[in-house]
Structure 1
Amino acid sequence: MTTPERVLITGGASGIGAATAARCRAEGWEPVIIDRVGNGIRADLSSPDDTARALAEALAGGPITRLVNNVGVVVPNDAEHQTLAEFDLALSLNLRCAFQCMQALLPGMKAAGFGRIVNMSSRAALGKELRTAYSATKAGLIGMTRVWALELGAHGITANAIGPGPIRTELFDKANPPGAPRTQAIIDAVPVKRVGTPEDVAHAAAFLLDARSGFVTGQVLYVCGGMTVGVAGV
């Protein structure tokens, strides 16, 4: 019996990360989850030292050739009042952590001549009110994705980003109660007339993680129900 290929998923204990982990299991891959809660490897991924410890624990079982950089934080605030502490937290969790995870897994990917990196960006990378720190880091994640695609393609490694739109998670429902006028306004703005689900995003991640997706790299796949049409560049 062959050992399942492993997929490292940061922030995989809930929401989009948990749905991605479930989809990976369905695909026959073994998810390795790093999160501050749950049954996986526990770590504070906003800390470089704790991230390094968790990565060493994950890699103790051997190389991991698939990576989903999913963990993130929003820290909403207007540009005038966004604090340096909020900005630094977003930078560390949304951007530095992804960079650190890539570097840790890269030797194993290069040795295998195969790798799949999926970075969870956001539609907010295109610009959104009250999202200075979040938008900056999610746009930065797209920039890193493109550089990695160019630098790592010769080693059989692809790097792509996903830009979710409004996704119905526990946090979304808490901020946007079902049936509330504001929630309905969000739904009305989506061309497909519904809010996305974590499984919608997990399906996109599974496609990009697949060995058969080796000719797709450096791309941003918006899973947004069509909200980026007319906004994102062609």
Structure 2
Amino acid sequence: MEYALVTGGSRNIGAAIARRLTEDGLGVVILDRVEPEHDAFVSFIDQDLTEVDGLRRRLGEIVSTFPVTRLVNNAGIVLPAAVDETDPADMARVHAVNVVAPVICLQSVLPTMRAAGMGRVVNVSSRVALGKELRTAYAASKAGLHGMTKTWALELGRFGITANAIGPGPIRTSLFDQVNPSGDPRTKAVVDAIPVRRMGTPDDVADAVSFLSSERAGFVTGQVIYVCGGMTVGAAG
């Protein structure tokens, strides 16, 4: 069996990714701080991604047991704030989870991928990398993730390893519903701004991850694919 490591794979988008990769025949290892809300995994490891030494140790244990050839860096934190209220400590925390942890995860699984002559890295980013109010720290981290994705594609292609990013738009999750109550005019405005006239679902993102994680995607690398119902095009226009 081949294995996928999914950070933040316990619920919402991460859970959908874990379920889909399991359906694809992969054994899924989840790295998260909360217990999975599903059973689509072969192993769950409770680990704080900001604890570098602990993270490296846990990853070492994972790769010694599971030959991981797929890495999905899905975990992330936001910490919204206006630019004049953005705390450097908060920026460092967001950077630790959204930028540093993906690097450490990749470093840990690279030997297995190189030995297999095949690897797939999928970074779950956000269309917020293009800019959004109150998201200085988050947007900076996701834009950085895009830069790393392209760099990894150039460095690792010769080993049969691809690296791509997915930028979800508005996705219907428990967190979105909490922040954007149903019936609120602002929620309606968000949906009305989506060209396909519906919210995205975690499965929409999981479908894209499934393809980019597959052997069929061997000629796709260094790309940022926005799963956003057309909102990115609208913003660009």
TM interval, shorter chain, is over 0.9
Q: Which segment is superposed worse, 167-176 or 30-39?
A: 30-39
Match of 1:131 in 2: 135
Instruction: Please state how far the C-alpha of 1:54 moved relative to its aligned partner.
Output: 2.0
1:140 aligns with 2:144: yes
| Number of corresponding residues | 230
Q: Is the 8 A contact 1:125 1:136 kept in 2?
A: yes
* Alpha carbons of structure 1 residues 74 and 188: separation in structure 2 relative to 1, 3 Å: same
Runs of at least 4 residues of structure 1 off by over 3 A? 230-233
Structure 1 segments unaligned to the other structure (5+ residues): none
1:47 aligns with 2:57: no
Q: Which segment is superposed worse, 161-170 or 38-47?
A: 38-47
Matching residue within 108, 112, 115 for 1:108: 112
Instruction: Please state how far the C-alpha of 1:230 moved relative to its aligned partner.
Output: 4.6
**Larger % of helix: which?**
2
RMSD: 1.2
1:225 aligns with 2:219: no
TM-score between both structures, scaled by the size of structure 2: 0.94
For residues 105 and 71 of structure 1, the distance between their equivalents in structure 2, rounded to whole angstroms, comes to 17
Counterpart residue identity of residue 33, structure 1? I
Instruction: Please state how far the C-alpha of 1:181 moved relative to its aligned partner.
Output: 1.1
Matching residue within 168, 176, 181 for 2:180: 176
Q: How does 1:72-83 map to 2 (within 5 A)?
A: 72-83=76-87
For residues 198 and 52 of structure 1, the distance between their equivalents in structure 2, rounded to whole angstroms, comes to 29
Q: How does 1:53-72 map to 2 (within 5 A)?
A: 53-72=57-76
Q: Is the 8 A contact 2:2 2:67 kept in 1?
A: no
* Alpha carbons of structure 1 residues 232 and 9: separation in structure 2 relative to 1, 3 Å: farther
Instruction: Please state how far the C-alpha of 1:53 moved relative to its aligned partner.
Output: 2.3
Q: Is the 8 A contact 1:64 1:108 kept in 2?
A: yes
Q: Is the 8 A contact 2:79 2:94 kept in 1?
A: yes
- For residues 31-52 of structure 1, give each alpha carbon's deviation from its aligned partner in whole angstroms, at most 9, with x where no partner exists: 1000011151000112212211
